[in-house]
Amino acid sequence: MKIPSQAHNKQFQLLSYKILHDLIFLSLLGLAAFIVIESALPGAISLNHGFLVTIFGIFALLQTTSFLGRRLGIEHPAKEKIHVLPIALVLMFLLIGNALLRFSLWENLLATTVIILVFTLFYQIIFSPNNGK
């Protein structure tokens, strides 16, 4: 039986890290697709597949990738901020609006706008630069 060398083991760990990193991206993409499908067709996915298992799987992938990254000494430099808020607001508006279809149009628009404003304020409070000062 051949014992792997230290360099071979490090290459295997690096390859595992890259594959786990890609799996995280694909899992998050799949979860987003599940949520959009579930909002369009309620019960289409939640009756057959629980979201809890998917979320626990994503957390397990995140923990494993984080552990392997620390073990390999991989550091990520700070990147410039990507502004995802406008895209998230539009998606949130559509999902909340779809959930409120039994209400009239004006009630739906008012409730959706108020919910988005509250979430936006929470977002600004949580991620403000002078948070905790």
Alpha-carbon 67 to chain mean position: 19
The structure's pTM equals 0.58
Binned at pLDDT 50, 70 and 90, residue 108 comes out as confident
Asked if the model's pLDDT at residue 3 lies above 70, the reply is no
> Please, what sign has the CA dihedral across residues 44, 45, 48, 52?
negative
Round to whole Å and give the CA distance between 41 and 59: 26
Q: How far is CA 106 from CA 91, 99, 102, 109, 111, in A?
A: 19, 14, 12, 5, 8
Tens digits of per-residue pLDDT, 46-83?
A: 777 777 788 888 899 989 988 888 888 887 776 777 67
Average pLDDT estimate for 117-128:
78
Round to whole Å and give the CA distance between 28 and 22: 10
Using alpha carbons only, give the angle 9, 13, 17 rounded to the nearest 5 degrees. Answer: 170
Which stretches of the chain are DSSP H helices?
6-40, 51-72, 85-99, 105-126
